[in-house]
Structure 1
Amino acid sequence: MDVDKIQAIIKKNGISTIRYEMPDVYGISHCRLYPAASFSRRSSDGVKFSISTLMSSDPQGNLATGTGYGEEIGFSNCLAFPDLETFQVVPWAKATARVLMNPTIDGLPVVGYPRYVARLQIAKLNAVGYTLLSTNRYEFYVENAAERKPIFSGRNFGATVRLPKAEGILEPLCDYLPQVGFDILNMDTGHGPGQIGMAYQPAFGLKAADNASKFRTSTKEIALRNSHIASFMTKPYTDGSGSCGHFIHSIWDTKRKHPMLFDKEHPTGLSKNGRHWVAGILSHVPGLAVLMCPTINCVKRFEPNQKAPVNATWGYDNCSTAVRVRIMGDRGTFIENRLPGSGCNPYIVMAATIAAGLDGIANKLPLPPPVKGDVMDEKTLPQLTTEIPNNIHDALSALVADTVLCDALGDEFINCFLSLKQQEDRLMTEAMASGNKDWEYGYYFEYM
């Protein structure tokens, strides 16, 4: 798509305002609005925006120190340029369109910015002859905006009787999401009060992470316009399961013609590099944990009996393992990285999964035996199976110790990420000391 084509879309749809959007490290979208008449100029001259907001702010807008993008550079602005392929009309907002932006400083990309980090990992994957077809399967919690209570109660997954209470959010989502490119595959009610699950069709390359980012923002916006609050906070209630953000993917050739994951001749059903890819993910599970579940609240999802993985295991259609493999022929076989919680940043999930998979391929890591039963039963596990860290301190230590992941994602991103986590930990410690037991809900629910 080029500027002229976008100008034609603007004219045809009577667009008067354009949002220039950028998700931050937490995946929370920020934007600056300009009149549509200035689109051509904004495309060439860029949009100034606070880089500390994107790289140093937490879910409440508090700025962390030591990120490399705040006080160190005088809280200066970046200059961001639109990715024209991401331009969309926003049908639920009057005469409005949106476009994702690429931030720069002094004419160079912001190398720690999650979207840029994901783009680099895709380039590395392309360099060895592959690309990625992927999607995220999200769960999220929904409250009535006036009462601030879940729209339905209980833990009865998929119960039909819940649907009348969910219609107020499901109907507008089903109406608007297809208008911005989401081909919805299925929906259900989850294991928690007010919990909804949705899946949509995959896409190639960076577009899949863009889709995931826009899905989260769109869902929250549509909910608010229909008297609800939707939250991708992973575990807002003690009596509800942690929401997922599973990363479902397969590897293809760079021309996007031939899937490269399936091998009907091998007993596993996976190609040689498909086996190495899964082994790579499993070998990095401890370091991946905090990248997949990146908040104090989110990482609790890995505690036992939370309907989430607890160790570095894989299995065929096994929903208790960290990696679920579905063998469905040449074009249907896929890998489901079940580590991500709904509070994940999809760009980080994509980048870290690729980095782990590529390490498995580069080092020809062997695939351990699959687990056939419940991973909570130790008798089903291969020897020396690694556990997943389920608190923020152990998870951060595991990330720092994983030099492969840290090197792949880059010093600037890792430093920024760790600084934000340190602030998060400090704020939680202060809240607990003051007796604020609802701190996590107040800190995460509204904006995530």
Structure 2
Amino acid sequence: LEDVSKPVVGAGSADSCRPKDDKDSENQTTGIKPSPLKTAASAPCREFNTNSNHTENTRDGTQIPTTPHLSSRMKHIKQEMAKNHLQFVRFEATDLHGVSRSKSIPAHFFQEKVIHGVCMPRGYLELIPNPKDDEVDHIRATCFNSDIVLMPELSTFRVLPWAERTARVICDTFTVTGEPLLTSPRYIAKRQLSQLQDAGFSLLSAFIYDFCIFAVPEIINSKTISFPASTLLNNHDQPFIQELVDGLYHTGANVESFSSSTRPGQMEICFLPEFGISAADNAFTLRTGVKEVARKYNYITSFFIETGFCNSGILSHSLWDVGGKKNMFCSNSGVEELTITGKKWLAGLLKHSAALSCLMAPAVSCRKRYSKESKDLKESVPTTWGYNDNSCAFNIKCHGEKGSRIENKL
């Protein structure tokens, strides 16, 4: 939190009821961390203490379940696998761009892989592809040629409605000696959430995503799809949207609303807010799920195109106390402005916006919007803030039943 002696001034430098109290306890997710090994030649293996009834917590916020907790999780997962006649389980991890990278295993090997993990070349997660040249940068770097291990977080196990007899589990990534992969976006997020918790706060957040659907112009002339939230356009392909929203719900990602957006073939999806890492997991699920559902309808979806269309991901968030009872951005006086805590948080976002932009837009093609020499002001991203002003990079909203929150549009 940035310390300010006066309110932040000037430019330049999603709505639903609050989740239930037990939501925070759900976010004490079950992850398995491989133990450091004496040799790097073999994959990590988790040694379980059969005499313990507790979970171990690491400094980075990863929970290591002991045998009773793990057995309970595995029993439930085995029931799900039998009920749905599952054949395959995907072990998924996010790369530097938030894109899913995975390995699928036959379902009967799942329990073994839960303990030992699944190996994957490190370069799959860290190398940056260049779609124009169909090449990968820095492919000769020695560290990129080594293996890393995908260790599943069992609380994220979900049957995928859009993939036949297949489930997925989101994984944390480790080196073969048991150290967390420091470049993992999920690890970075969990570490920051842990530090926030140490400071006495929790994060309630939700993503708002815009993406384009190609092949829709075959049904409706694309030139007519330019009126945001038009009811007729919202309903132009109900089977696709209904399957997507229903599928996301069954994977644990609750959609609060969806509508057509401002550009041809563009849709907007808003998620319900969640505490902790769940909001990021929901966004990760959408990015893969929407493409898989679209493929069934002979559509193609894209979160980035080079024609100037502005596909965005907006992070709506607020700080709460650790118990998730009180919004720290809201005062009880009914005044629609940020509290001192909220103003300090906003000041920190403004001060560190340049560094944050590197996390929001890591690739060269994404950096055009942040250039001072940008000729198109509509597509540029000035670091501004305001109350109920959707043109600002940091838009403060005090209305709605969730209370005060900040929308980060970097």
1:147-190, Cα deviation, whole Å (9 max, x unpaired): 79986655332334434544453232233222222222211212
| TM-score, with length taken from structure 2 | 0.74
Cα distance in 2 for residues equivalent to 1:59 and 1:87 = 32
Q: Residue 185 of structure 1 aligns with which residue?
A: 256
| Counterpart code for 2:396 | V
After the TM superposition, which residues 125-164 of structure 1 pair with which residues of structure 2 at under 5 Å, given as runs? 125-144=196-215, 153-163=224-234
Q: Note the alpha carbon deviations across 1:368-421, whole angstroms, 9 max, x for none.
A: xxxxxxxxxxxxxxxxxxxxxxxxxxxxxxxxxxxxxxxxxxxxxxxxxxxxxx
2:138 paired residue among 65, 71, 75: 65
| Distance (Å, rounded) in 1 between the aligned partners of 2:144 and 2:331 | 54
Runs of 4+ in structure 1 over 6 Å off = 145-150
Q: How far apart are 1:38 and its partner, in Å?
A: 1.0
Question: In 2, are the aligned partners of 1:262 and 1:330 still within 8 Å (CA)?
Answer: no
> How many Å separate the matches in 1 of 2:151 and 2:264?
41
Distance 1:107 1:145, change over 3 A: farther
Q: Tell me whether 1:237 sits opposite 2:237 in the alignment.
A: no
Deviations 1:56-105 (A, max 9, x none): 14265733228xxx632361211221011111000111111000111111
Matches within 5 A, 1:248-327: 248-265=316-333, 269-301=337-369, 303=374, 310-327=381-398
- Could you tell me which of 77, 87, 111 is aligned with 2:157? 87
Structure having the larger proportion of residues in helix: 1
8 Å CA contact 1:103–1:109 kept in 2: the answer is yes
**Contact persistence 1:322–1:337 (CA under 8 A):** yes
Q: CA RMSD in A?
A: 2.7
Cα deviation code 1:260-302 (max 9, x no counterpart) = 1112449662221111001111112233223223333433445
Once the 2 structures are TM-superposed, how far is the Cα of residue 45 of structure 1 from its aligned partner?
0.9
Report if aligned partners of 1:307, 1:320 keep a CA contact under 8 Å in 2.
no
Shift of residue 257, structure 1, vs aligned partner: 2.3
Q: Which amino acid aligns with 2:227?
A: N
In structure 2, the CA distance between the partners of 1:263 and 1:304, relative to structure 1 (3 Å rule), is farther
Correspondence 1:173 to 2:244: yes
Contact 2:96 2:126 (C-alpha < 8 Å) held by counterparts: yes
C-alpha distance in 1, partners of 2:267/2:307? 14
Question: Which residues of structure 2 form unaligned runs of 5+?
Answer: 1-29, 31-72
| CA spacing shift, 1:264–1:156, aligned 2, 3 Å | same
Structure 1 residues 299 and 166: alpha-carbon distance in aligned structure 2, compared to 1, 3 A threshold: farther
Distance change >3 Å, CA 277–CA 81, structure 1 → 2: same
SS at match of 2:364: coil
What is the TM-score with the length of structure 1 in the denominator? Answer: 0.68
2:182 corresponds to which residue?
111
Contact 1:136 1:246 in 2 (8 A): yes
1:52–1:63 contact (8 Å) kept in structure 2:
no
- Partner residue, 1:420: none
> Which SS does the other structure have where 2:136 is aligned?
coil
